Amino acid sequence: MSTAQADPLTTKQTNIYGVPGRLIDMPTAEVAPDAQLSTTVSIYGSGNNQTTRTTLSFQMLPRLNASFRYSAIGGLVPTPGRPTFTTLYDRSFDLSYRFLNEGKYHPAMSIGLRDFAGTNIYSGEYIVATKSFAQGKLALTAGLGWGRLGSYGSIGSTGTRKTGFLGQGGIPSYDRWFRGDVAAFGGLSYQPTEKLGFAVEYSSDAYDREVRDGALDHKSPWNFGVSYKASEALRFAAYSLYGDEIGASVTLTLNPRNPAVKGGLEPAPLPVAVRSAQSAADLGWSTDPARRASTTAQSQETLSALLEKEGISLHAMSMSGREAHVQIRNHRYDMRAQAFGRTARAMTRSLPASVETLTVTLMTQGVPSTAATFPRSDLERLENAPAQAMREATTLSDGRRFDTGLSYHEEALPRFEYSVSPFLRLSVFDPENPVRANAGVQAKAKYHFAPGWAVSGSVSQKLVGNLDKSSPPGASGLPRVRSNVAFYSRTDTPTIDHLTLAHYGRPAENIYSRVTAGYLERMYAGVSGEVLWKPVESRLGLGAEINYVQPRDFDQQFGLRSRNTGTGVIPEWNGHVSAYLDMGYGFHGQLDVGRYLAGDWGATVALDRVFANGWSIGAFATKTNVSSDTFGEGSFDKGLRITIPFAWGLGTANKRSSTTTLRSLTRDGGARLEVEDRLYERIRDTHDPQLSRGWGKFWR
């Protein structure tokens, strides 16, 4: 099949492990729709032997799926060296890749790794084939499995496979992949109606450890399931498992590429004002100084009023007989092309007809970012044409080139911004309590008093929560730079999240700078400096950051602590050099190399898929010169992060978003300063190619 959407083996259904497929325990060669994000909660067993799996699955590419699973496994005897709990909590990662799409006469085929970087509780590998029949209603699956998937009914072996618990977990177990006993598995799924589905499978997982510890009685390799689609976003399933258990699951799905609210609820933009040929040639207003001053003032006043209605502020402006340049502050449009489009329309309705070349510069943190230059005649000609035609007529360049001879709008500086909103801080994967959280009210304010200069602060008041109940991990031989986070959550008085003086600059073309001083974040005060090279139309960006830090008091007021934490001394200096790359298809890669808060040296690799509408889903991993044993459980810092734009759910333009980071237990190795407004995150969405991905909103 040429596309996943036309593929009968594309499904929104997941199995009991939370990965795409219409079977139960066993994998298939089915995939989810491209970019689908699903959350599956499955449960089987009862009492102390109950197992719950919560899986987040993301179809990264049409053929590549990645899943993260957090399991609460009841009834297992703890492994020596681990704390004793009635329930064993375990993290696992899966990858599957369909290397062959289904054809008329041959099946689709996939290869996969289950729990490939975990503790070996769920680890297994497989090669599987699935063929559809009857327009996709019937699907047959057969495959070969290793590890857990090769533990029942072995038909051979591919060498010796190490067994047992994998230390602290978190490290890919390359030496185990596709080794050991091999077993066959298979199944059949049938979808008689759009909503109802049935499945039967032969499982090659013997559940050896669960049986050994008395957590499960494995009487049969045959599993049976029934599923029901309540809506496009919600599915339920029930299972008969192992001849002795029953189970159930619920799956929620969404796709970042598809808006929650169809269409868009923001008001329609102003139409372009079309000039007559005679008025466009009239330069009389620009030859008389008095008339030129009057016309410029009137144009600025009219344009400012029109832009305010669009959620855009006029920052500065210059105008001559044939050209006009405006700097704007975009408060509303997460798709920056939409801000360009609405500003250009307003300019056609407020500027003299002789002005042909219109340039609009986006201001970011008080400094110019991208400038878009439009021929006015093309705006008039292409208003009802596809947005891509206008993109081809638009020139993007560094706004610094136009940052001279401007007249600031009276409300540009100084100006004051503030907001009050709820906050939620999460801690996940603590073996004593998988989810902890604090919630309360947060007030933010920022005062811009000169070009590029700002004083900002944030104050929080906790109302409810239990983050203070978590226990710091044992000494690791590193300074406690993050692992004492619980002490920062034990105060019930207002806390200063940050209080800083910052300067943002444009020292040269394609160069951005930031210097921030004060209380930089909840745990650290000091000074942070950063420089970024990023041409507007380049996929590559390069940056460097250096920080001087001092730990703050646990009450997060104005006091500071000693750098000596009892387990080591926090270094004064840390920092990184960074490379950023837009890899195409929405993928952004980032590499940071340098010194971390605890003084360890290493690198962080991050990969995010960023959608034109502001959604972002990605993963990161940090490896430093700290050994896995010294780091502790998880072996090294890693995690997932998801950014959800408010506009996606509201259906109206909105620049706000919510970012959630899911990571292993807070450790000291690989920890980095959490300074506000790092440059690349602020600049990226105003540059190409990300800007052009959202250009379809130009005329909206």
Residue 3's pLDDT is 41
- Give the Å distances, CA to CA, from 535 to 169, 370, 580, 585: 41, 9, 12, 20
Can you list the domains of the chain with their CATH numbers? 4-254 (2.40.160.40), 277-412 (3.30.300), 499-691 (no CATH)
Q: How many residues does the chain have?
A: 700
d(C-alpha 238, C-alpha 44), whole Å: 10
d(C-alpha 208, C-alpha 216), whole Å: 9
Residue 566's pLDDT is 83
Residue 165's pLDDT is 55
Q: Name residues whose C-beta falls within 8 Å of residue 2's C-beta, 6 or more positions apart in sequence.
A: none
d(C-alpha 45, C-alpha 525), whole Å: 50
Question: Looking at residue 274, what DSSP letter applies?
Answer: P
Residue type at position 431: P
d(C-alpha 674, C-alpha 663), whole Å: 15
Residue 431's pLDDT is 60
Cα 9 to chain centroid distance, Å, stands at: 27
Predicted model pTM: 0.90
- The whole-number mean pLDDT for each consecutive block of 10 residues of the chain, a chain of 700 residues, reads 64 96 97 96 91 95 94 77 67 94 96 86 95 94 96 93 63 83 97 96 94 90 97 96 94 89 76 89 85 92 96 95 96 93 96 95 96 96 95 96 91 92 79 77 96 96 83 72 86 94 97 98 97 96 98 95 90 97 93 96 95 90 85 77 87 85 81 94 91 91
d(C-alpha 177, C-alpha 170), whole Å: 15
Residue 2's pLDDT is 39
Comparing CA positions, the residue from 518, 513, 571 lying closest to residue 544 is 513
Q: What is the pLDDT of residues 515-567, one digit of tens each?
A: 999 999 999 999 999 999 999 999 999 999 999 999 999 999 999 999 998 88
d(C-alpha 133, C-alpha 140), whole Å: 8
